[in-house]
Structure 1
Amino acid sequence: MKAELNAPVGIIGGTGLTTLSGLEIVGEHPSSTIWGEPSAPLVEGRLGRQSVIFLSRHGNPHRIPPHQVNYRANIQALHDAGVRTVIGVNAVGGIREDMGPARVVIPDQLIDYTWGRPSTFFEGDLDAVTHIDFTWPYDHEGRQALIHAAGGAGVPCSDSAVYGATQGPRLETAAEIRRLERDGCDIVGMTGMPEAVLAAELGMRYVCLGLVVNWAAGKSDHIITMAEIEEAIEQGMSGVKRILTDSMAELGRLSPLPQPS
Protein backbone atom coordinates (compact mmCIF):
# COMPACT_ATOMS: atom_id res chain seq x y z
CA MET A 1 0.00 0.00 0.00
CA LYS A 2 1.33 3.46 -0.92
CA ALA A 3 0.59 6.80 0.73
CA GLU A 4 -0.54 9.82 -1.30
CA LEU A 5 2.24 11.54 -3.20
CA ASN A 6 1.71 14.78 -1.28
CA ALA A 7 2.38 13.21 2.13
CA PRO A 8 5.06 15.57 3.52
CA VAL A 9 8.62 14.33 3.82
CA GLY A 10 10.65 15.86 6.64
CA ILE A 11 14.27 16.93 6.26
CA ILE A 12 16.32 17.81 9.34
CA GLY A 13 19.63 19.52 8.68
CA GLY A 14 21.19 22.89 7.93
CA THR A 15 19.47 25.93 6.46
CA GLY A 16 21.38 25.48 3.18
CA LEU A 17 19.18 22.51 2.30
CA THR A 18 16.34 24.86 1.35
CA THR A 19 18.25 25.70 -1.86
CA LEU A 20 17.45 22.36 -3.54
CA SER A 21 17.06 22.61 -7.31
CA GLY A 22 13.41 23.03 -8.26
CA LEU A 23 12.27 23.67 -4.69
CA GLU A 24 9.44 26.16 -4.20
CA ILE A 25 9.23 27.57 -0.67
CA VAL A 26 5.57 27.82 0.33
CA GLY A 27 5.81 29.25 3.82
CA GLU A 28 7.41 29.26 7.25
CA HIS A 29 5.44 28.21 10.31
CA PRO A 30 6.40 28.64 13.98
CA SER A 31 5.29 25.67 16.06
CA SER A 32 5.07 24.56 19.65
CA THR A 33 4.76 21.11 21.20
CA ILE A 34 4.16 19.62 24.63
CA TRP A 35 7.96 19.20 24.78
CA GLY A 36 8.65 22.87 24.04
CA GLU A 37 9.58 24.68 20.87
CA PRO A 38 11.61 23.08 18.07
CA SER A 39 14.98 24.46 17.04
CA ALA A 40 13.47 26.68 14.33
CA PRO A 41 10.21 27.33 12.48
CA LEU A 42 9.13 24.64 10.04
CA VAL A 43 9.83 25.64 6.43
CA GLU A 44 7.30 24.20 3.99
CA GLY A 45 8.20 23.66 0.36
CA ARG A 46 7.31 21.69 -2.76
CA LEU A 47 9.50 19.70 -5.11
CA GLY A 48 7.24 19.13 -8.10
CA ARG A 49 4.14 17.51 -6.55
CA GLN A 50 5.96 16.47 -3.39
CA SER A 51 5.43 18.37 -0.14
CA VAL A 52 8.61 18.82 1.93
CA ILE A 53 9.08 20.24 5.42
CA PHE A 54 12.51 21.44 6.53
CA LEU A 55 13.71 21.89 10.10
CA SER A 56 17.06 23.46 10.94
CA ARG A 57 18.42 21.19 13.68
CA HIS A 58 20.74 23.78 15.21
CA GLY A 59 18.46 26.76 14.69
CA ASN A 60 18.62 29.63 12.23
CA PRO A 61 21.17 31.07 12.71
CA HIS A 62 23.17 28.00 13.70
CA ARG A 63 23.41 28.51 17.48
CA ILE A 64 22.20 25.40 19.34
CA PRO A 65 24.97 22.90 20.22
CA PRO A 66 24.26 19.20 19.65
CA HIS A 67 23.80 18.31 23.32
CA GLN A 68 21.22 21.10 23.79
CA VAL A 69 19.04 20.45 20.73
CA ASN A 70 15.43 19.81 21.80
CA TYR A 71 15.18 16.59 19.82
CA ARG A 72 11.79 15.68 21.28
CA ALA A 73 10.25 18.99 20.21
CA ASN A 74 11.82 18.70 16.75
CA ILE A 75 10.46 15.22 16.06
CA GLN A 76 7.09 15.97 17.63
CA ALA A 77 6.70 19.16 15.56
CA LEU A 78 7.35 17.25 12.34
CA HIS A 79 4.94 14.50 13.37
CA ASP A 80 2.27 17.08 14.23
CA ALA A 81 2.77 18.61 10.76
CA GLY A 82 1.91 15.27 9.12
CA VAL A 83 5.45 14.05 8.42
CA ARG A 84 5.85 10.27 8.61
CA THR A 85 9.18 9.90 6.80
CA VAL A 86 12.23 11.84 8.00
CA ILE A 87 15.68 12.27 6.49
CA GLY A 88 18.30 13.35 8.99
CA VAL A 89 21.18 15.03 7.16
CA ASN A 90 24.29 14.74 9.32
CA ALA A 91 27.84 16.02 9.10
CA VAL A 92 30.13 13.24 10.34
CA GLY A 93 33.76 12.37 10.83
CA GLY A 94 35.33 9.49 8.93
CA ILE A 95 36.84 6.55 10.81
CA ARG A 96 36.91 3.77 8.20
CA GLU A 97 39.65 4.14 5.61
CA ASP A 98 37.18 4.68 2.75
CA MET A 99 35.25 7.36 4.67
CA GLY A 100 37.29 10.39 3.67
CA PRO A 101 36.13 14.01 3.50
CA ALA A 102 33.24 14.76 1.09
CA ARG A 103 32.13 11.11 1.09
CA VAL A 104 28.36 10.54 1.22
CA VAL A 105 27.30 7.79 3.63
CA ILE A 106 23.90 6.13 4.20
CA PRO A 107 24.44 4.18 7.45
CA ASP A 108 22.49 1.10 8.43
CA GLN A 109 23.44 0.83 12.11
CA LEU A 110 24.41 3.03 15.04
CA ILE A 111 25.91 2.92 18.52
CA ASP A 112 24.83 5.55 21.04
CA TYR A 113 27.50 7.09 23.29
CA THR A 114 25.49 10.18 24.25
CA TRP A 115 24.36 10.82 27.81
CA GLY A 116 22.01 13.15 29.66
CA ARG A 117 19.85 13.95 26.63
CA PRO A 118 16.07 13.47 26.97
CA SER A 119 15.82 10.42 24.72
CA THR A 120 12.28 9.06 24.94
CA PHE A 121 8.65 10.13 24.81
CA PHE A 122 7.76 7.24 27.12
CA GLU A 123 8.39 8.66 30.58
CA GLY A 124 6.51 10.41 33.35
CA ASP A 125 2.94 9.49 34.29
CA LEU A 126 2.49 6.45 32.05
CA ASP A 127 -0.32 3.93 31.88
CA ALA A 128 2.21 1.24 30.93
CA VAL A 129 5.91 0.90 30.14
CA THR A 130 6.65 0.77 26.39
CA HIS A 131 9.73 -0.88 24.84
CA ILE A 132 10.19 -0.40 21.09
CA ASP A 133 12.19 -2.67 18.80
CA PHE A 134 15.25 -0.73 17.66
CA THR A 135 17.16 -3.61 16.04
CA TRP A 136 17.32 -1.73 12.75
CA PRO A 137 17.49 1.99 13.60
CA TYR A 138 17.20 3.19 10.00
CA ASP A 139 14.20 2.44 7.80
CA HIS A 140 15.06 -0.09 5.07
CA GLU A 141 12.73 1.26 2.37
CA GLY A 142 13.80 4.82 3.05
CA ARG A 143 17.46 3.84 2.80
CA GLN A 144 16.82 2.10 -0.49
CA ALA A 145 15.19 5.25 -1.87
CA LEU A 146 18.32 7.25 -1.02
CA ILE A 147 20.64 4.57 -2.40
CA HIS A 148 18.68 4.37 -5.67
CA ALA A 149 18.71 8.16 -5.98
CA ALA A 150 22.47 8.27 -5.42
CA GLY A 151 23.03 5.64 -8.09
CA GLY A 152 20.77 7.38 -10.57
CA ALA A 153 22.46 10.73 -9.97
CA GLY A 154 25.97 9.25 -10.20
CA VAL A 155 26.84 10.30 -6.64
CA PRO A 156 29.37 7.89 -5.08
CA CYS A 157 28.18 6.80 -1.66
CA SER A 158 28.73 4.14 0.99
CA ASP A 159 25.47 2.29 1.62
CA SER A 160 26.50 0.47 4.78
CA ALA A 161 28.14 1.95 7.88
CA VAL A 162 27.86 2.12 11.65
CA TYR A 163 27.27 5.62 13.03
CA GLY A 164 28.80 6.31 16.45
CA ALA A 165 26.83 9.09 18.18
CA THR A 166 28.93 11.07 20.67
CA GLN A 167 27.97 13.79 23.12
CA GLY A 168 29.81 16.87 21.86
CA PRO A 169 30.11 19.72 21.47
CA ARG A 170 33.83 19.01 21.59
CA LEU A 171 35.39 16.70 19.03
CA GLU A 172 36.68 13.34 20.19
CA THR A 173 40.16 12.39 21.33
CA ALA A 174 42.29 10.05 19.24
CA ALA A 175 41.91 7.39 21.95
CA GLU A 176 38.14 7.73 21.87
CA ILE A 177 38.14 7.25 18.10
CA ARG A 178 40.29 4.13 18.49
CA ARG A 179 37.69 2.84 20.96
CA LEU A 180 34.84 3.60 18.56
CA GLU A 181 36.74 1.82 15.80
CA ARG A 182 37.19 -1.26 18.00
CA ASP A 183 33.45 -1.13 18.69
CA GLY A 184 32.78 -1.27 14.95
CA CYS A 185 31.96 2.37 14.20
CA ASP A 186 32.75 3.63 10.71
CA ILE A 187 31.68 7.26 11.13
CA VAL A 188 31.18 9.53 14.13
CA GLY A 189 28.74 12.38 14.73
CA MET A 190 26.94 14.24 17.50
CA THR A 191 23.31 14.49 16.32
CA GLY A 192 22.26 10.98 15.27
CA MET A 193 20.77 10.18 18.68
CA PRO A 194 18.23 10.49 20.16
CA GLU A 195 16.77 11.77 16.88
CA ALA A 196 16.49 8.30 15.36
CA VAL A 197 14.90 6.58 18.35
CA LEU A 198 12.38 9.37 18.94
CA ALA A 199 11.20 9.03 15.36
CA ALA A 200 10.86 5.28 15.89
CA GLU A 201 8.79 5.84 19.03
CA LEU A 202 6.28 7.84 16.97
CA GLY A 203 6.19 5.24 14.20
CA MET A 204 8.05 7.46 11.73
CA ARG A 205 10.39 6.17 9.05
CA TYR A 206 13.84 7.63 9.71
CA VAL A 207 16.98 7.52 7.57
CA CYS A 208 20.35 9.21 7.88
CA LEU A 209 22.10 10.87 4.96
CA GLY A 210 25.62 11.54 6.15
CA LEU A 211 28.34 13.71 4.67
CA VAL A 212 31.89 13.12 5.90
CA VAL A 213 33.38 16.55 6.62
CA ASN A 214 36.67 15.56 8.25
CA TRP A 215 38.82 12.62 9.23
CA ALA A 216 38.09 11.66 12.83
CA ALA A 217 40.71 12.47 15.49
CA GLY A 218 43.96 10.61 14.96
CA LYS A 219 43.03 9.50 11.43
CA SER A 220 45.14 12.18 9.73
CA ASP A 221 48.50 13.81 10.41
CA HIS A 222 47.02 17.20 11.34
CA ILE A 223 44.49 18.67 13.73
CA ILE A 224 40.92 19.16 12.56
CA THR A 225 40.20 22.70 11.33
CA MET A 226 37.03 24.54 10.37
CA ALA A 227 38.63 25.33 7.00
CA GLU A 228 38.94 21.59 6.31
CA ILE A 229 35.32 21.02 7.31
CA GLU A 230 34.00 23.89 5.19
CA GLU A 231 35.93 22.65 2.15
CA ALA A 232 34.45 19.15 2.50
CA ILE A 233 30.95 20.58 2.85
CA GLU A 234 31.43 22.64 -0.30
CA GLN A 235 32.68 19.57 -2.20
CA GLY A 236 30.06 17.11 -0.96
CA MET A 237 26.86 19.09 -0.44
CA SER A 238 25.94 19.16 -4.13
CA GLY A 239 25.75 15.34 -4.08
CA VAL A 240 23.64 15.39 -0.91
CA LYS A 241 21.21 17.83 -2.53
CA ARG A 242 20.94 15.71 -5.69
CA ILE A 243 20.11 12.64 -3.62
CA LEU A 244 17.47 14.55 -1.67
CA THR A 245 15.90 16.00 -4.81
CA ASP A 246 15.79 12.69 -6.67
CA SER A 247 14.47 10.62 -3.74
CA MET A 248 11.58 12.86 -2.68
CA ALA A 249 8.81 11.33 -4.81
CA GLU A 250 9.70 7.77 -3.79
CA LEU A 251 9.97 8.72 -0.13
CA GLY A 252 6.62 10.50 -0.26
CA ARG A 253 4.90 7.38 -1.57
CA LEU A 254 6.02 5.16 1.31
CA SER A 255 3.15 3.97 3.47
CA PRO A 256 3.15 5.15 7.09
CA LEU A 257 4.31 2.74 9.78
CA PRO A 258 2.06 1.79 12.71
CA GLN A 259 2.71 3.87 15.81
CA PRO A 260 4.10 1.76 18.69
CA SER A 261 1.69 1.23 21.55
Structure 2
Amino acid sequence: MGAGHAHALYVHGHSRVHAMAPEAKVAAALGFVTVVALTPADLGWAFAGHAVVLAAVARTARLSVRFVASRALVVVPFIAFVALIPFVATGPRTEVLGVAVSAEGLVAARTILCKAVLGVTTTVVLAATTETTAIMRGLNRLRVPTVMTAIATFMLRYLEVLTGELGRMRTAMTARGYDPRWLWQARPIASSAGALFVRSYERGERVHAAMLARGFDGTMPVLDDRRAGRGEWAAAAALPLLALLALLAAAATRTLGGL
Protein backbone atom coordinates (compact mmCIF):
# COMPACT_ATOMS: atom_id res chain seq x y z
CA MET A 1 0.00 0.00 0.00
CA GLY A 2 2.99 2.23 -0.24
CA ALA A 3 3.45 4.97 -2.73
CA GLY A 4 5.38 2.72 -5.05
CA HIS A 5 2.46 0.35 -5.66
CA ALA A 6 1.16 0.73 -9.22
CA HIS A 7 -1.93 -0.80 -10.77
CA ALA A 8 -2.02 -2.75 -14.01
CA LEU A 9 -3.38 0.17 -16.04
CA TYR A 10 -0.59 2.56 -15.03
CA VAL A 11 2.08 3.34 -17.62
CA HIS A 12 5.29 4.73 -16.19
CA GLY A 13 6.32 7.85 -18.04
CA HIS A 14 7.72 11.36 -17.80
CA SER A 15 5.20 13.30 -19.86
CA ARG A 16 3.61 16.58 -18.79
CA VAL A 17 0.39 14.71 -18.02
CA HIS A 18 2.23 12.25 -15.76
CA ALA A 19 3.91 15.12 -13.92
CA MET A 20 0.69 16.99 -13.12
CA ALA A 21 -0.64 16.94 -9.56
CA PRO A 22 -3.31 14.24 -9.16
CA GLU A 23 -6.03 16.60 -7.94
CA ALA A 24 -5.71 18.64 -11.14
CA LYS A 25 -5.97 15.55 -13.33
CA VAL A 26 -8.96 14.18 -11.44
CA ALA A 27 -10.75 17.54 -11.64
CA ALA A 28 -9.99 17.80 -15.37
CA ALA A 29 -11.34 14.29 -16.01
CA LEU A 30 -14.52 14.99 -14.03
CA GLY A 31 -15.08 18.29 -15.82
CA PHE A 32 -14.53 16.73 -19.24
CA VAL A 33 -16.86 13.81 -18.55
CA THR A 34 -19.51 16.25 -17.26
CA VAL A 35 -19.41 18.25 -20.50
CA VAL A 36 -19.63 15.03 -22.54
CA ALA A 37 -22.59 13.82 -20.47
CA LEU A 38 -24.42 17.12 -20.99
CA THR A 39 -23.90 17.16 -24.77
CA PRO A 40 -27.31 16.93 -26.51
CA ALA A 41 -28.05 14.01 -28.79
CA ASP A 42 -28.59 16.21 -31.85
CA LEU A 43 -25.06 17.66 -31.73
CA GLY A 44 -23.20 14.74 -33.23
CA TRP A 45 -20.22 16.81 -34.34
CA ALA A 46 -19.60 17.87 -30.74
CA PHE A 47 -18.64 14.28 -29.90
CA ALA A 48 -16.05 14.37 -32.66
CA GLY A 49 -14.60 17.51 -31.09
CA HIS A 50 -14.53 15.83 -27.68
CA ALA A 51 -12.69 12.87 -29.20
CA VAL A 52 -10.08 15.16 -30.77
CA VAL A 53 -9.46 16.91 -27.44
CA LEU A 54 -9.10 13.59 -25.62
CA ALA A 55 -6.81 12.22 -28.32
CA ALA A 56 -4.56 15.26 -27.91
CA VAL A 57 -4.30 14.56 -24.16
CA ALA A 58 -3.44 10.90 -24.80
CA ARG A 59 -0.85 12.01 -27.35
CA THR A 60 0.69 14.42 -24.85
CA ALA A 61 0.82 11.59 -22.31
CA ARG A 62 2.64 9.44 -24.91
CA LEU A 63 0.05 6.68 -24.75
CA SER A 64 -0.19 4.47 -27.80
CA VAL A 65 -3.47 4.03 -29.63
CA ARG A 66 -3.19 0.27 -29.18
CA PHE A 67 -2.84 0.58 -25.40
CA VAL A 68 -5.82 2.91 -24.98
CA ALA A 69 -8.00 0.92 -27.37
CA SER A 70 -7.22 -2.41 -25.71
CA ARG A 71 -8.08 -1.04 -22.25
CA ALA A 72 -11.25 0.59 -23.54
CA LEU A 73 -12.55 -2.78 -24.79
CA VAL A 74 -14.25 -3.15 -21.43
CA VAL A 75 -17.13 -1.19 -22.97
CA VAL A 76 -17.78 -3.85 -25.64
CA PRO A 77 -20.50 -5.75 -23.69
CA PHE A 78 -22.26 -2.43 -23.14
CA ILE A 79 -22.03 -1.69 -26.88
CA ALA A 80 -23.73 -5.01 -27.62
CA PHE A 81 -26.64 -3.94 -25.41
CA VAL A 82 -26.84 -0.47 -26.98
CA ALA A 83 -27.00 -2.03 -30.46
CA LEU A 84 -30.43 -3.42 -29.58
CA ILE A 85 -31.98 0.00 -28.91
CA PRO A 86 -32.80 0.89 -32.57
CA PHE A 87 -34.67 -2.40 -32.94
CA VAL A 88 -36.80 -2.15 -29.78
CA ALA A 89 -37.45 1.61 -29.67
CA THR A 90 -40.69 3.03 -30.98
CA GLY A 91 -41.32 5.98 -33.28
CA PRO A 92 -40.75 6.66 -36.98
CA ARG A 93 -38.77 3.99 -38.81
CA THR A 94 -35.83 4.34 -41.16
CA GLU A 95 -33.81 1.82 -43.13
CA VAL A 96 -30.18 0.95 -42.38
CA LEU A 97 -28.64 -1.60 -44.75
CA GLY A 98 -32.14 -2.69 -45.72
CA VAL A 99 -33.30 -3.20 -42.12
CA ALA A 100 -36.06 -1.01 -40.66
CA VAL A 101 -35.05 0.52 -37.33
CA SER A 102 -36.34 3.31 -35.12
CA ALA A 103 -34.92 6.71 -36.08
CA GLU A 104 -35.10 7.98 -32.51
CA GLY A 105 -33.59 4.75 -31.22
CA LEU A 106 -30.74 5.06 -33.70
CA VAL A 107 -29.93 8.57 -32.47
CA ALA A 108 -30.18 7.46 -28.84
CA ALA A 109 -27.89 4.47 -29.46
CA ARG A 110 -25.33 6.67 -31.19
CA THR A 111 -25.40 9.20 -28.35
CA ILE A 112 -25.09 6.58 -25.61
CA LEU A 113 -22.27 4.87 -27.48
CA CYS A 114 -20.30 8.09 -27.95
CA LYS A 115 -20.69 9.09 -24.32
CA ALA A 116 -19.76 5.63 -23.05
CA VAL A 117 -16.64 5.36 -25.22
CA LEU A 118 -15.47 8.88 -24.33
CA GLY A 119 -16.09 8.28 -20.62
CA VAL A 120 -14.23 4.97 -20.55
CA THR A 121 -11.35 6.39 -22.60
CA THR A 122 -11.06 9.33 -20.19
CA THR A 123 -10.82 6.88 -17.29
CA VAL A 124 -8.18 4.85 -19.12
CA VAL A 125 -6.03 7.94 -19.77
CA LEU A 126 -6.37 9.06 -16.15
CA ALA A 127 -5.47 5.61 -14.80
CA ALA A 128 -2.57 5.26 -17.23
CA THR A 129 -0.96 8.50 -16.07
CA THR A 130 -1.77 8.41 -12.34
CA GLU A 131 -1.06 5.74 -9.75
CA THR A 132 -3.91 4.53 -7.55
CA THR A 133 -2.50 6.09 -4.39
CA ALA A 134 -2.08 9.41 -6.21
CA ILE A 135 -5.69 9.32 -7.43
CA MET A 136 -6.91 8.78 -3.88
CA ARG A 137 -4.65 11.58 -2.65
CA GLY A 138 -6.09 13.85 -5.30
CA LEU A 139 -9.63 12.97 -4.27
CA ASN A 140 -8.76 13.81 -0.67
CA ARG A 141 -7.49 17.22 -1.76
CA LEU A 142 -10.76 17.73 -3.65
CA ARG A 143 -12.57 17.33 -0.33
CA VAL A 144 -13.87 13.81 -0.90
CA PRO A 145 -14.51 12.25 2.56
CA THR A 146 -11.42 10.48 3.86
CA VAL A 147 -13.37 7.39 4.87
CA MET A 148 -14.49 6.87 1.26
CA THR A 149 -11.00 7.18 -0.20
CA ALA A 150 -9.56 4.93 2.53
CA ILE A 151 -12.11 2.21 1.78
CA ALA A 152 -11.45 2.50 -1.95
CA THR A 153 -7.68 2.33 -1.41
CA PHE A 154 -7.86 -0.83 0.67
CA MET A 155 -10.41 -2.37 -1.70
CA LEU A 156 -8.21 -1.85 -4.76
CA ARG A 157 -5.10 -3.06 -2.96
CA TYR A 158 -6.58 -6.22 -1.49
CA LEU A 159 -8.60 -7.06 -4.58
CA GLU A 160 -5.26 -7.79 -6.24
CA VAL A 161 -4.13 -9.80 -3.19
CA LEU A 162 -7.32 -11.89 -3.20
CA THR A 163 -7.15 -12.42 -6.94
CA GLY A 164 -3.62 -13.74 -6.57
CA GLU A 165 -4.68 -15.99 -3.70
CA LEU A 166 -7.58 -17.39 -5.73
CA GLY A 167 -5.22 -18.06 -8.62
CA ARG A 168 -2.85 -19.99 -6.36
CA MET A 169 -5.74 -22.05 -4.97
CA ARG A 170 -6.89 -22.82 -8.51
CA THR A 171 -3.37 -23.87 -9.48
CA ALA A 172 -3.12 -26.13 -6.43
CA MET A 173 -6.44 -27.80 -7.32
CA THR A 174 -5.31 -28.34 -10.92
CA ALA A 175 -1.98 -29.80 -9.74
CA ARG A 176 -3.95 -32.35 -7.71
CA GLY A 177 -5.84 -33.51 -10.78
CA TYR A 178 -9.02 -31.47 -10.43
CA ASP A 179 -10.05 -29.82 -13.69
CA PRO A 180 -13.80 -29.02 -13.67
CA ARG A 181 -15.54 -28.81 -17.01
CA TRP A 182 -19.20 -29.20 -16.12
CA LEU A 183 -21.63 -27.26 -13.96
CA TRP A 184 -22.19 -30.14 -11.52
CA GLN A 185 -18.43 -30.19 -10.83
CA ALA A 186 -18.51 -26.67 -9.36
CA ARG A 187 -18.97 -27.71 -5.72
CA PRO A 188 -15.23 -27.65 -4.89
CA ILE A 189 -14.99 -24.20 -6.48
CA ALA A 190 -17.77 -22.96 -4.20
CA SER A 191 -16.02 -24.52 -1.20
CA SER A 192 -12.78 -22.81 -2.20
CA ALA A 193 -14.58 -19.48 -2.49
CA GLY A 194 -15.97 -19.92 1.03
CA ALA A 195 -12.55 -20.79 2.39
CA LEU A 196 -11.10 -17.76 0.61
CA PHE A 197 -13.74 -15.51 2.19
CA VAL A 198 -12.95 -16.78 5.69
CA ARG A 199 -9.20 -16.42 5.14
CA SER A 200 -9.68 -12.92 3.74
CA TYR A 201 -11.76 -11.88 6.76
CA GLU A 202 -9.14 -13.22 9.16
CA ARG A 203 -6.36 -11.53 7.20
CA GLY A 204 -8.24 -8.24 7.32
CA GLU A 205 -8.49 -8.46 11.11
CA ARG A 206 -4.78 -9.20 11.43
CA VAL A 207 -3.83 -6.33 9.11
CA HIS A 208 -6.10 -3.93 10.97
CA ALA A 209 -4.64 -4.95 14.34
CA ALA A 210 -1.12 -4.52 12.97
CA MET A 211 -1.94 -1.06 11.63
CA LEU A 212 -3.46 0.03 14.93
CA ALA A 213 -0.34 -1.19 16.71
CA ARG A 214 1.70 1.08 14.42
CA GLY A 215 -0.39 4.15 15.20
CA PHE A 216 -2.90 4.12 12.34
CA ASP A 217 -5.52 6.84 12.97
CA GLY A 218 -7.73 6.37 9.91
CA THR A 219 -5.56 8.27 7.42
CA MET A 220 -2.61 7.08 5.40
CA PRO A 221 0.68 8.97 5.74
CA VAL A 222 1.30 11.56 3.02
CA LEU A 223 4.62 10.91 1.30
CA ASP A 224 4.18 13.50 -1.47
CA ASP A 225 2.85 16.85 -0.27
CA ARG A 226 3.30 18.68 -3.58
CA ARG A 227 0.08 20.39 -4.61
CA ALA A 228 -1.12 21.70 -7.94
CA GLY A 229 0.09 25.15 -8.88
CA ARG A 230 -1.71 27.79 -10.91
CA GLY A 231 -0.24 26.53 -14.16
CA GLU A 232 -1.44 23.00 -13.51
CA TRP A 233 -4.94 24.19 -12.60
CA ALA A 234 -5.00 26.25 -15.80
CA ALA A 235 -3.95 23.21 -17.84
CA ALA A 236 -6.59 21.11 -16.08
CA ALA A 237 -9.29 23.68 -16.79
CA ALA A 238 -8.32 23.70 -20.47
CA LEU A 239 -9.64 20.15 -20.99
CA PRO A 240 -13.31 20.76 -20.06
CA LEU A 241 -13.15 24.27 -21.59
CA LEU A 242 -12.01 22.88 -24.94
CA ALA A 243 -14.78 20.27 -24.76
CA LEU A 244 -17.26 23.07 -24.03
CA LEU A 245 -15.96 25.07 -26.99
CA ALA A 246 -16.49 22.02 -29.23
CA LEU A 247 -20.05 21.79 -27.90
CA LEU A 248 -20.74 25.48 -28.53
CA ALA A 249 -19.20 25.30 -32.00
CA ALA A 250 -21.44 22.36 -32.93
CA ALA A 251 -24.48 24.20 -31.59
CA ALA A 252 -23.57 27.34 -33.54
CA THR A 253 -23.06 25.33 -36.73
CA ARG A 254 -26.48 23.74 -36.36
CA THR A 255 -28.11 27.13 -35.74
CA LEU A 256 -26.46 28.72 -38.78
CA GLY A 257 -27.37 25.73 -40.89
CA GLY A 258 -31.02 26.14 -39.97
CA LEU A 259 -31.16 29.76 -41.08
Same fold (TM over 0.5): no
RCO greater where, 1 or 2, for CA within 8 Å and sep 6 or more?
2
TM normalised by structure 1 equals: 0.22
Question: Rg larger in 1 or in 2?
Answer: 2
Q: Which has the higher helix share?
A: 2
Q: Which has the higher strand share?
A: 1
